Amino acid sequence: MFSTGLPILPLATLFTAFRTSNLVSGKLIVVVLVVASIFAWSVMVTKYRELIRAQAASRRFQLAFRGEAHPLTLYLKRHAYSESPIYKVYEAGCLALGGELSQERHRGSDLFSSGANFEEYHLNQLQVEVVRRATERTVADQALEMESRMGFLATAVSASPLLGLLGTVWGVLDAFGAMAISGAANLSAVAPGISGALLTTVVGLLVALPSAIGYNILASKIRELAVQMDNFAQEFVAELQRMFVRE
């Protein structure tokens, strides 16, 4: 057997790379990335559960709404779907409708009484436009609420690889600087430093990849709900025109 005379290097595990990395350019950046990963996973799990519940509640509400003959029946029955953003658009439209009718000879509270006669109520196009704008504002508000904390995921996707790359470049720079000072130009002298430097890039990618996948999934669900809210707002206003607008 031939012997090369080179020392046997230790197994390059993640723990070994972390232990041999520099304090600031290695260990500190890895800790920051791990904390960011914990927050990213927390946001993804909680937001996914919220959106799943919102989608289920919205489906139930839309089925119930389209199963009624009058657009205000669900509101009169006090059937609330609190987890559905589409229901909140509906609720805002009903409240705006009551406010407009309260300016006429009828009181707004009469509209939402159990014995209300809908044939007595009439709307003009200006009042319908007020209700439309109320539903559109609520659609925008609900879209912003659903997008809350999504900015953190977007930041994790874009910043984590760059932060990992910064740690790698910084660590490699320190490793070659230490090698130049010591004057030892061999693999065993520079390998531990480079291994610790590359760890930050690995951890940065491990943070960014799941965050990117989770962000795309969540953004797709948010867009779907936003489109459903916008479509429902138009459907609701059209039903009000059919019921309350008289030529």
- The arithmetic mean of pLDDT across residues 127-154, rounded, is 94
- pLDDT exceeds cutoff 80 at 208: yes
Alpha carbon distance 156, 35 (integer Å) = 11
- pLDDT grade, residue 46 (50/70/90)? very high
Per the DSSP assignment, residues forming a β-bridge with 245 are 123
Task: Record the pTM.
Answer: 0.80
Share of the chain above pLDDT 90, in %: 47
- pLDDT exceeds cutoff 50 at 11: no
Q: Locate the domains of the chain by residue range.
A: 14-244
Summarised one tens digit per residue, pLDDT across range 69-101 is: 888 888 888 888 989 999 999 999 999 988 877
Count CB-CB contacts under 10 A for residue 10: 12
Inter-axis angle of helices 29-66 and 150-182, to 10 degrees? Answer: 170
Summarised one tens digit per residue, pLDDT across range 15-37 is: 666 666 777 777 888 899 999 99
Inter-axis angle of helices 187-244 and 85-101, to 10 degrees? Answer: 40
Q: What is the pLDDT of residue 144?
A: 94
Average pLDDT, the chain: 82
Alpha carbon distance 158, 118 (integer Å) = 55
Q: What is the pLDDT of residue 204?
A: 93
- pLDDT grade, residue 188 (50/70/90)? low
